[in-house]
Structure 1
Amino acid sequence: MDGLYEQLRIALHQVWRRRWLALGAAWGLCLVGWLVVALIPNSYESKARVFVQLQSILPTQVGITAADRQNDITRIKQTLTSTDNLEKVVRRTELNNLVATKRDLAVQVDALRKVIKVTAQQDNLFEISATSSISGFSNGQNAKLAAGIVQNLLDLFVEANLSGDRDEATESLTFLDEQLQRREQDLQAAEQRRVEFEQKYLGVLPGEGSIGSRMAAARAELSGIEQQLMQAQSSLVALRSQLGSTPPTLPGIAGADNGSVSSQLTLLQAQLAQAAARGWTDAHPDVVALKAQIARLRPLAAREGPSGAAGMPNPAYSSLRGMVAEREAQVQASSVRKAQLDADLAELSSKQATEPGVAAQQAQLNRDYEVLKRQYDKLLEDREQVRLRSDVQSKTAAVKFKVIDPPSAPRIPTSPDRPILLTAILFAALAAGVGLAFVWGQLQTTFPTQGRLEAITGLPVLGSISEVVTDAVKARRRQHLLWLGGGGGALAASYALLMAVEFWQRSTVA
């Protein structure tokens, strides 16, 4: 412990003897360090926080999923620091004063991109920060510039969501309208070609579709008509046989007009009126049969005269006659339709034989029409979907922005931290001065104590002579001590002055 104390005393003595060297080194290092710190421009940082609210009711109903809305947020975040947006920020702030050419604008944009940060703090919370440290600007200008950059970024953040979506939707709708108009014209032309083809080849055949399917349908209808015709003819033969063996009248009271032709005509007209009341059309088989009977009985009623025939008409005979007329009408209608179908099938078969490419032409026309129809329907659906999405995004604000913290007005520079740096330089300079004095003392070949001299030489030290200090030397030493104190005090005063200037500059930043 005594040895350690002795070494400490020796070190302090060496430093004290070289105190001027320590003070000079401290002054030199402080001046250099403080000058470097003074040349570093202050950096002022402004921050703002934005909350992005995703609407989850109506957008989902029209197909705008949460992933789509999150992609919108990511897109806005990525394009916020695009060159176009940063050029707008430069033009709207005091950075525009530094721009004289396009090259200057590009330099400012690159520098601005490095000092802007967009950080996602949470799922829907973003922090926008910007730093300003322009060497040619004052502290107040840099602080104002940082806040202005963040404010313009917020404005662009909102504009990118509103106008960007509207412009994109407008362009999409314009494109879809143009495509729809062109597809509509192509579809009308294809439909016209289809109609002309059907009028030329397929207008007389039943059903829809290709030639083969229509011919198959016509043959199926023809087969059914032939069966109906056979049944009607068989029934007609049986009814005519029964009608031939049935007497038209029955013995009755002379002069009674119940079985006259006029009364039958009246009865048939009443039945025709009932059929019309039921909603039967003129094409109904019963209506056709009644009209045929009425047309046949009218000449007989005219020849019968007002008195009527004698005897009572046979109801069975009248019923059989009506049924015969009905079957005759059915046979006639079926025969006409059968003949028409036979003629149409024969005509189309002959056309197929003479023009073998008809089926291929129809298939090509149908294919073209179906392709155009699907494209048109898809484009129409897409246009309505885009229009609805545009209305939802622009009118209901599927993504809303809310500024939680407006851009802060910085009063204290974020860097450099001058009070800490000034203090650190002061203590580092003092430590460096003391260290330099100590090292310099170690390099000199002097012996501060008798024990050190005896330990190094290995010879016994017989004695030592104390320094004799005269009054003149004492006065001179006091003078030097005052100078040393003045130098140290000046160093401390310089440090205090720099600190005062720093805090005064901070107070001037509004």
Structure 2
Amino acid sequence: MQQDQRQLIKKYLDILLRRKKMVIAGLLIGMAVGLGQYLQAPKVYLCESLIKYQRQRINPTQMSPDDIRSGTREVVATVSQQITSRTSLEALIKEFDLYATARSNMPIEDVVDVMRSNHIDIGSDRGDIFRVAYQGSDPKKVMRVTNALAAKFIEENLRFREERASETSKYVSDELHMAKEALDKKEAIMRDYKLQHYNEMADQRNTNMGRLNALQGQYQNNQDSILDLERTKVMVQEQISLRNELFAQQFGGISGGALGNSNLQGAHQAGSLLADVSRMRQELNNLQLRYTDKHPEVKRLKTMLKEREGEQAAMARQAEGDEEQRDEEKSVVQRLQDPQAGELKIQLETLGYNIDRLKKDRVDMENQIAKYKKWVEAAPVREAEWAALTRDYEQLHNHYQQLVAQNISAESAHSLEKAQKGSQFKIIDPAHFPETPFKPNFKKIMLVAVGLGLGIGGGLAFGLELINTSFRDPEDLEAYLDVPVICAIPAIFTNRERIRRKVFQVFWLVVFVLSSGGILTAAIYFWRKGMIII
């Protein structure tokens, strides 16, 4: 097997040696074509500028235009879109007079697209450092355009950040204004409602209940005081009647006795009736504290109280009718009354005054008790209304507080951007004048040309060898004829043939030397002229 491989390799080498002139010719032609292609290709120069994204170091906040967690690529991508926009690139093209030929043959939109897609390269290589590259045929313009693109990064970033900070601050300020209006409106409604129903609010219920209990206690004391004074008044009236009776018996005879008996009987009836009325009123007030006016016991007691008050009024009218008759009789008795009777009358008048005052106080206390009862009964209703009214107040207040904090942060961020203290781009390596073109690459072109020349020459050599039907080896002949070869005779040339072969070899050698020398000389010449850059 190894022997067969060696024979095959030897066969291929023999083919190359026999066809060496064709392979060398292909090599020379390839080198000449490669050199010509390099000389004809336009020179393209490339400039790069390194830019660093320097984050802000002064009080970064949530409202800053640049979130501290955002990556450099997002920021670079945003600013790159602005720099490579049609407006920006068209301004650069006109400023540096780029693509003059293309502009005369193509619309400006297509020229901008070519510049954006083929000639500008913006990429992030490592960390917060990225590069801006531009390529073109004029090295000076390439350098200037690259530096202009890098400067635009700084300019556009500052403008973009300040605009965004200003818009953010304005938006938050508007939201804060609307939230404040809504909160003020809500607080005004709550304030008016609380002022209107202050005493009926749930937080006043305990106070109202305490005041109501105190008033009920005072009312009970007032009733007791009135009853005591009424009893005292009845006793004083009885004493006065007894004194009058004694004086009547002593000085007035029958008339005085009749007057005394009549006064004594009327006093007893009036005192008994007054005690019943006071007792019924006290019971009615006690029942009203526990039951409503529709309760049967309350209704019954009210009816009885009206009857007793009617009897009391009738007795008062009867007493007024007999007043004239009594005046004449009393005039006689009064002239005969002793000083103690006068003191008792003064005491009786004082008791009447105090009773009237207590009754007036009782009416005031009844009104106050009714008022406090109304407030206590309305407390659950006001509590439900207040809960419905203040249901969303807490959310409005929290939202307002958040907007206040955001507005402060937004204004701080805006001031930071106006002072250019925020995150910004910084050129750490500006573009320099390109000494060598970026493309075409002489070494690559010549390597490709040599490879193609050798490939074409070798391919032709092997192709001609395949279509050649002559036998080169005895083994091929034996395999074809199936007859053993006894001996192989080398080619025998005549003198004329030898001379012709020698002339052909000399001619080929001259052509090879001249071609190689010409290619080498041309390469050295163009290299010295600066047209070939290695």
Once the two structures are superposed, residues 286-339 of structure 1 have per-residue CA deviations (whole angstroms, 9 ceiling, x without a partner) of xxxxxxxxxxxxxxxxxxxxxxxxxxxxxxxxxxxxxxxxxxxxxxxxx9xx99
C-alpha separation between the residues in 2 aligned to 1:452 and 1:507?
A: 51
1:460 is aligned, of 460, 481, 486, to 486
Aligned to 2:55: 54
C-alpha separation between the residues in 2 aligned to 1:395 and 1:340?
A: 72
- Tell me whether 1:91 sits opposite 2:91 in the alignment: yes
Query: 1:377–1:426: structure 2 CA closer, same or farther, 3 Å change rule?
Result: closer
C-alpha separation between the residues in 2 aligned to 1:346 and 1:3?
A: 128
C-alpha separation between the residues in 1 aligned to 2:74 and 2:368?
A: 67
C-alpha separation between the residues in 2 aligned to 1:374 and 1:3?
A: 94
- Tell me whether 1:215 sits opposite 2:205 in the alignment: yes
RMSD: 4.9
- Tell me whether 1:117 sits opposite 2:115 in the alignment: no
- Tell me whether 1:132 sits opposite 2:138 in the alignment: no
2:519 is aligned, of 488, 494, 501, to 494
Q: Is the 8 A contact 1:165 1:393 kept in 2?
A: yes
Q: Is the 8 A contact 2:53 2:425 kept in 1?
A: yes
Query: 1:378–1:459: structure 2 CA closer, same or farther, 3 Å change rule?
Result: closer
Report matched runs for 1:3-402 at 5 Å: 11=15, 14-15=18-19, 19=21, 21-22=22-23, 24-30=25-31, 32-34=33-35, 41-56=42-57, 58-60=58-60, 62=61, 68-71=67-70, 73-82=72-81, 85-87=84-86, 88-93=88-93, 94-95=97-98, 97=100, 98=102, 101=107, 103-104=109-110, 107-108=113-114, 111-112=117-118, 115-121=120-126, 123-124=127-128, 126-132=129-135, 139=137, 141=138, 143-144=139-140, 146-202=142-198, 205=199, 211-220=201-210, 345-346=372-373, 348-349=375-376, 352=378, 358-395=382-419, 397-402=421-426
Q: Is the 8 A contact 2:172 2:407 kept in 1?
A: yes
Query: 1:84–1:439: structure 2 CA closer, same or farther, 3 Å change rule?
Result: closer
C-alpha separation between the residues in 2 aligned to 1:477 and 1:428?
A: 30
- By how many angstroms is 1:419 displaced? 3.0
Q: Is the 8 A contact 2:205 2:376 kept in 1?
A: no
Q: Give the match's secondary structure for 1:75.
A: helix
Query: 1:165–1:227: structure 2 CA closer, same or farther, 3 Å change rule?
Result: farther
Q: Is the 8 A contact 2:202 2:382 kept in 1?
A: no
Aligned to 2:506: 481
Aligned to 2:287: none
Aligned to 1:421: 445
Query: 1:102–1:361: structure 2 CA closer, same or farther, 3 Å change rule?
Result: farther
Query: 1:342–1:160: structure 2 CA closer, same or farther, 3 Å change rule?
Result: farther
Q: Is the 8 A contact 1:132 1:146 kept in 2?
A: yes
Q: Give the match's secondary structure for 1:51.
A: strand
Judging by fraction of residues, say which structure has more helix. Answer: 2
Question: What amino acid does structure 1 have at the position aligned with 2:110?
Answer: D
Aligned residues between the structures: 379
Query: 1:363–1:155: structure 2 CA closer, same or farther, 3 Å change rule?
Result: same
Q: Is the 8 A contact 2:47 2:143 kept in 1?
A: yes
Q: Is the 8 A contact 2:49 2:133 kept in 1?
A: no
Q: Give the match's secondary structure for 1:81.
A: helix
- By how many angstroms is 1:128 displaced? 0.9
Identity %: 16
Aligned to 2:235: none
C-alpha separation between the residues in 2 aligned to 1:175 and 1:5?
A: 82
Q: Is the 8 A contact 1:40 1:416 kept in 2?
A: yes
Aligned to 1:233: none
